[in-house]
Structure 1
Amino acid sequence: MHPVLPGAPWLIAHKSMLSVNRPHKITLNGRDYVLWKNSKGEVFALDNTCPHMQAPLSEGWVCAERNTITCPFHALEFDGEGRLYRDRKPSAEALAHSLELNLVGDCVWTYGGCESRLPIPDVIERRSQGFRFVGMTGHQSVWGDFLSNLLISYDYNHFKGTHRELFKIQAIEIHNYEANDYKIKLDQKIIRQRNSSQELLINPLLGIFPQIYLNRFEYSFPSLVTLIGEFPVGKVLQVLVIYPETENRTKTFTLVYAQSNPILLAVLKKFLLRSVAELVRQDIVAVENLYPRQPPKIKLPDEEIMFYAEKLYRNWR
C-alpha cells in the first residue's frame, strides 16, 4: 500500500507494552515488523519476514545472551541490524530489513522508513512533567481507515451522543481555540448530571467528576491527542495514539498519567484505566458502524476544528 502521510512520525509503542526479550508484532502502513526490548531497555525492530523462507519472526523467540531474534522455522538468528548471527558472529551485511526507531523517554517512534517531514512532538514529555505513569489501555485495531479515526478524535460534538451516558454529559463548551500549523490547543468545558448511587458503586471513579469540569486539549497532527482533565482530587493526562496499520485498519492505544495522592491513585487505578478503555471502545464502535462518507448536509458548532485536521490530511504531499 502507499504509505499514509509519508514522513509523519508514528508512535508505535510505549516501553510498558514490550515484555523483556519477547517478540512484539506491529503493522505500519501495510508492513509487519517485529519489535523486542532487552534487559537494558533498548528496543529493536526488523521486518517480520525471515529472509530465508519468509517465516514470521514474531512467532520465534529472543536470545537474551546475544540479543537476537530467532526464526521459528529454522532457528536462524538475526541481530537488531538484521545481520545473520552464525558461528558466534554476525554476518558482514544485513539480510533482514531493520526499521529505524527513535526512542524519546519510554516512547518508541518511527517514520516507517520514510524521510522525516515533521519533528517528533515533545508534547508527552512536556505535559507529563509532575505526573505518574498509570498505564496503557484501549490497545486495539479499528476496522476503519486512518482519516475516519483521525476525524473522530477532532470531533467534539460526538461527546454529546457517543459518550453521553458514560459521563452524563448535558452540554459542552469550547474555549481558547488556537491552531498553529500541525498543532491545535483548546479548552473543553463539560457540564454533566449527577451520577446515581448504583453508577458510583459500579465505577467509583465517577465520584471525582464534578458537575462542571475542564479538559485542556493539545493535538499533535497526525498521531497524538493529549488532554489534561482537572478534578478536585488531582489531574489526569490521557494521550490518545493512532497510526495506520493498513488502508482499512487503524491501531489505537491510550497512555494514562495522573497527578494525585498516591494512595487514592492506587485505589482508583483500575477504574481509571477501565473508564478510558470504555471511552475508546465507544469511539471504535462509532467508527466501525459508519456508512461510506458523503458530504455533510448539516453543520454543527465547533466543527472547524475537525475540518482543519481534514485539510491538513488532504493537503499532505
Structure 2
Amino acid sequence: MEPILLGAPWLIAHRSMLGINQPYKITLNDHDYVLWQNQQGEVFALDNICPHMQAPLSDGWICQQTDVIACPFHALEFDGQGRLHNCGKVGSQPLLTPLEIVIKDDCIWTYGGYTPKIPIPDLIPKVSAGMSFLGVAGEKSIHGTFLDSISINYDYNHQSGTHRELFGIKANRIPVFEHDGYWAKVVQELDRDDSTWNDILGNPVILTAPKTYTGTLEYAFPSLTTFRADFPIGEVLQVHVLYPETATQTKTFVLVYSKPKHPILKLLLGRFVLSAVATVVEQDTRSIETSYPRQPAKIRLPNEEIMFLAQKLYREW
C-alpha cells in the first residue's frame, strides 16, 4: 500500500505498553515491527520478520542477559541493530532493518523510516503538566480507514448519539475554536441530563459529575486528540492516539492522566476514567465499523468546521 500521510510522526506506543523483556508487535502502514524494552529502559525496534525462514519475531522471546530477541522457529538471536548473534559471535552486518524511534516523555514516536515532514508535536507534555499518568486504556485495532477514524475524533457532535448512554449530554456549546497549521483547540460547554437510578447503580462515581462542565480539546494532526476537564474530584486528561496499520485498519489507544483534588481520590478517579475511556473507544469503534461506505453528506450540523479542517489537512497533505 502507499504510505498514509508520508512523513507524519506517529505515536506507536507508551513505555508502559511494552512491559520489560516482552516482544510487542505493531503494524504501521502495512509493515510489521517488533519492539521490546529492557530493564534499563532502553527500547529496541526491528522488522518483525526473521531473515532465515520469515517467522514473526514477536512470537519469540527476549534474552535478558544480552537484550537480543530470539526467533520462535530456531532460536536465532538478533540485537537491536539487526545483527545475528551466534555462538558468542556478532555478525558484522545487520540482517534486519531497525525502525528509527524517538522517545519523548515515555512516548515512543516514529516516522516509519521516511523523511520527517513535520516535527513531533509537544502537545502531550504541555497539556499533562502537573498531572500523574494513570495508564493506557482502549487499545484496539479498528476495522476502518484512518480518515474515517480521525474524522470521528474531530467530530464532537457525536457525543449526543454515540455516547448518549455513557455521558447523557443534552447540550454542547462551543465558545472557542482556534487553529494554526496542524494544531487546533476547541472549548466545549456541556450540559448533562439528570442521572437515573440505573445510571447511578451502574456507575456510582457519576454522582460526582457536575450537571454542566467545560472540556478543552486540543489536536495535533494527524495522531493526537486530547480532552481535559475539571470535575469535583479532580482533573482528568485523555490523549487519544491514532495511527494507520493498513489501508483499512487503524490502531488506537488512550493515555490517561489525572490530578485528583485529594490523594485519597486518585484510585477512585483512575478507575472511573479508565473504565469510561474503554467504553468510549468501544462505542466509537462500533460507529466506524457499522457505517456504510462514505458518501457526500446531505446534512450539515453546527460546529463541524474542525472536522472539515482535519479532512482538508488529510487531503492536502
TM-score relative to the length of structure 2? 0.98
Describe how 1:129-208 pairs up with structure 2 within 5 A.
129-208=129-208
What is the one-letter code of the residue matched to 2:106? D
1:195-217 CA-partner distances (Å, limit 9, x unpaired) = 12332232123122101001111
Report the equivalent of 1:123.
123
Question: What is the DSSP-based 3-state SS (H/G/I as helix, E as strand, rest coil) of the residue aligned with 1:92?
Answer: coil
> How far has the Cα of 1:68 moved from its partner?
0.3
Question: What is the DSSP-based 3-state SS (H/G/I as helix, E as strand, rest coil) of the residue aligned with 1:80?
Answer: coil
> How far has the Cα of 1:156 moved from its partner?
1.5
> How far has the Cα of 1:305 moved from its partner?
0.8
CA contact (8 A) 1:204 1:271 kept: no
**Distance in 2 between residues matched to 1:205 and 1:93, nearest whole Å:** 57
CA contact (8 A) 1:225 1:241 kept: yes
Report the equivalent of 2:246.
246
> How far has the Cα of 1:114 moved from its partner?
0.7
1:92 equivalent to 2:92? Answer yes
Aligned residues: 316
1:107-128 CA-partner distances (Å, limit 9, x unpaired) = 0000001110111111111111
**Distance in 1 between residues matched to 2:263 and 2:109, nearest whole Å:** 30
What is the one-letter code of the residue matched to 1:272? V
Question: What is the DSSP-based 3-state SS (H/G/I as helix, E as strand, rest coil) of the residue aligned with 1:94?
Answer: coil
Report the equivalent of 1:270.
271
Report the equivalent of 1:281.
282
Report the equivalent of 2:210.
210
Question: What is the DSSP-based 3-state SS (H/G/I as helix, E as strand, rest coil) of the residue aligned with 1:252?
Answer: strand
**Distance in 2 between residues matched to 1:176 and 1:37, nearest whole Å:** 41
> How far has the Cα of 1:270 moved from its partner?
2.0
**Distance in 1 between residues matched to 2:32 and 2:274, nearest whole Å:** 28
> How far has the Cα of 1:40 moved from its partner?
0.7
TM-score relative to the length of structure 1? 0.98
CA contact (8 A) 2:233 2:269 kept: no
Report the equivalent of 2:231.
231
What is the one-letter code of the residue matched to 1:253? F
Question: What is the DSSP-based 3-state SS (H/G/I as helix, E as strand, rest coil) of the residue aligned with 1:225?
Answer: strand
Give ranges in structure 1 of 5+ residues lacking alignment. none
**Distance in 1 between residues matched to 2:208 and 2:4, nearest whole Å:** 39
**Distance in 2 between residues matched to 1:272 and 1:232, nearest whole Å:** 14
> How far has the Cα of 1:87 moved from its partner?
2.9
Q: Which moved more, 1:197-206 or 1:243-252?
A: 197-206
CA contact (8 A) 2:20 2:39 kept: yes
**Distance in 2 between residues matched to 1:109 and 1:311, nearest whole Å:** 24
The runs of at least 4 consecutive aligned structure 1 residues that moved more than 6 Å come to none
CA contact (8 A) 2:234 2:269 kept: no
> How far has the Cα of 1:262 moved from its partner?
2.0
**Distance in 2 between residues matched to 1:132 and 1:182, nearest whole Å:** 26
Describe how 1:295-314 pairs up with structure 2 within 5 A.
295-314=296-315
> How far has the Cα of 1:296 moved from its partner?
0.7
Matched-pair identity in %? 54
CA contact (8 A) 2:236 2:273 kept: no
Question: What is the DSSP-based 3-state SS (H/G/I as helix, E as strand, rest coil) of the residue aligned with 1:293?
Answer: coil
